[in-house]
Each structure stands twice: as C-alpha cells, then as structure tokens.
Amino acid sequence: MAGKIIQEEKMILQREMNQHWRSLGNRADSLKELSCLVSRATTEHSPWGLTEEGLTGLQCMIKKKRHFITEMMANARHCYLQVLTAAEGAQMINSQDTSDDYSDND
C-alpha cells in the first residue's frame, strides 16, 4: 500500500515538474518572440508609438526578463535532477528492504 502511494506521489510530482518546465519554456519563447518584434520595430513603424530610446529600453527590459527566466530554468533543472536522483537512490534502498511482493514498474 505504501509503495503504491509513493508511486502515485511520484507521478504527481513529475507531472507538476513537467508543467512548470513547460510554463517556463513558454515564457522564454514569448519573450524571444517579443524581442524579435521590438528589434524589427523602428521609430516610424513602432506599434507601441515608442521613440528609439524607448525601443532600446524595452529591448533591454525584455533581455533582462529572458535572462531571469533562463536562470530560473537552470535552477529548476538542477533541483529537479536532485529530486529525481534522490528519489531513485531512496527507491533502490527501499526496494532492497521490502519484500519480494513489491515490484517497481517505472
């Protein structure tokens, strides 16, 4: 019973990690697209009515956000790998301690 609960919790955790990763990726992609739009914009054809200085400032802010998202993704990846590695190590230890009735179906 405990093994089944652990497996369910692991699946939930993996789904949530995947959802978070996709969310960060979507934000990074959106910022990349926005950066491309801003870099193509000129003061005469700016859809936002910004001056050249305004477009430069907007591009700077977008780059800063992209950098922040990239750092968040790197940190999330590091944490996720630690969690998954620790879970696999704990699973190996627990599987040695449990009876033969328990089988791990990853």
Task: Give pLDDT, residue 104.
Answer: 40
Task: Give pLDDT, residue 47.
Answer: 77
* Model confidence, pTM: 0.69
What is the DSSP code (8-state) at residue 103? Answer: -
Distance CA 29, CA 66 (A): 9
Lowest-pLDDT choice from 1-5, 66-70, 96-100:
96-100
- Helices 52-97 and 2-40, interaxial angle, to 10°? 160
Distance CA 44, CA 70 (A): 32
Task: Give pLDDT, residue 13.
Answer: 87
